[in-house]
Amino acid sequence: MTVYEIPVRTLAGEPTTLEAYRGQVLLIVNVASRCGFTPQYEGLEALYRHHRERGFSVLGFPCDQFAHQEPGNAAEIRDFCTLTYDVTFPLFAKIEVNGRNTHPLYNFLKRAKPGILGTRAIKWNFTKFLIGRQGEVGQRYAPFVTPTVIETDLKRAFEDP
């Protein structure tokens, strides 16, 4: 199975896959609205707006597994992201990234790119995965790594066939 075939749900709850993003460079992020890293929405949106014409998307997956930092429903999440950070990149339905109910997308990402010392667990909100145009998981970034720092790797990903 590829990253593009994994079933996901839009923020509105509609079933879909990531097939529409095939051939793009992707940055997949577990997001939350009440986290110390939440201001990264601004940098993520800036990356998206700056590079989307080159075939780049940020894909946000809200997660409430870390200190109940994403308690909102889909409408509240959408409103917060739109009104507070003018987010225009795609957001998907709330998921779990660890534990028994880990979403298949995150099982795939964690298996493809384990964290430090080979750990698979997502440590906190705003862990990021950079996906190349061929669907390969290129990099995994800790929550404290800002979108600005990712810019160098992003440019390299655009150069890869």
Residue 87 within any structural domain of the chain: yes
Q: Which of 35, 91, 150, 157 is catalytic?
A: 35
The total of structural domains in the chain comes to: 1
- pLDDT for the residue 117: 67
In this prediction, residue 156 carries a pLDDT of 85
The CA-atom distances, in angstroms, between 150 and each of 27, 59, 70, 79, 107 are 10, 15, 24, 26, 22
Q: Answer yes or no: is 14 within a domain.
A: yes
Neighbouring residues of 44: CB distance < 8 A, sequence distance ≥ 6: 27, 29, 58, 60, 87, 89, 147
Any domain includes 110: yes
Q: Does some domain include residue 161?
A: no
Above pLDDT 90, what percent of the chain?
A: 89
Can you tell me the mean pLDDT for 32-52? Answer: 97
Is residue 159 included in any domain, yes or no? no
Residue 161: per-residue pLDDT: 61
In CATH, what number is assigned to the domain containing residue 39? 3.40.30.10
The domain in which residue 28 lies consists of 3-152
pLDDT at 116: 74
Residue 114 lies in a domain: yes
Look at residue 157 and tell me if it is in a domain.
no
Furthest C-alpha separation in the chain: 40
Question: Which band of pLDDT confidence, cut at 50, 70 and 90, is reported for residue 114?
Answer: confident
* Structure confidence by residue, pLDDT tens digits, 45-104: 999 999 999 999 999 999 999 999 999 999 999 999 999 999 999 999 999 999 999 999
Q: Does 38 have pLDDT greater than 80?
A: yes
Residue type at 100 in one-letter notation: R
Percent of the chain with pLDDT over 70: 98
Q: C-alpha 20: how far from its chain's center?
A: 15
Residue 160 lies in a domain: no
> Mean pLDDT, the chain, as a whole number?
95
3-state SS assignment for residue 16: strand
Instruction: Reply yes or no on whether 35 is catalytic.
Output: yes
